Amino acid sequence: MSEISKLTELRKLLLDMEQSMGLQNLSSVERDIYYAASDHATSTGAGTGTGAVKTTTLQEHRLLAQVSRPTFFRGLKSLLGKGYLEPCKESSRGYYIVKTPR
């Protein structure tokens, strides 16, 4: 199997998984923000100990390295509105909790 064939199969698998989780309707930036937030929330010592992730931590994630600041905040606001993230009530501004997709 060639390298491109392997990548094609991997991409198809990813699309199937995103569909099964209900992520197919998110933009690529929204998905990357959600993935980065999930990555940080599940890593040890994330955020405030409540699983919260900080905005600046998300912006520094490698999935979001090429995303401009305004685009990042539009995507973040959209994810909040869609219920994928919610503000952390136990900490100051700029911390978010990852929610399971509806």
Separation CA 62–CA 59 (nearest Å): 8
Q: In which residue are the tokens 């979001």 written?
A: 64
Write the CATH number for 64: 1.10.10
Q: Coil, strand, or helix at residue 43?
A: coil
| Parallel/antiparallel/unpaired status of strands 95-98 and 53-54 | antiparallel
Q: Does residue 57 lie within any of the structural domains?
A: yes
Q: Does residue 77 lie within any of the structural domains?
A: yes
> Which H or E run contains 96?
strand 95-98
Number of domains in the chain: 1
Q: Does residue 68 lie within any of the structural domains?
A: yes
Q: Which domain holds residue 30?
A: 24-98
pLDDT 10s digits, 35-82? 999 999 877 444 444 578 999 999 999 999 999 999 999 999 999 999
* Residue 2 binned pLDDT confidence (cut-offs 50, 70, 90): very high
* Residue 20 binned pLDDT confidence (cut-offs 50, 70, 90): very high
Q: Does residue 19 lie within any of the structural domains?
A: no
Q: Does residue 4 lie within any of the structural domains?
A: no
What the block records as the tokens of 95 is 């911390």
pTM of the model: 0.85
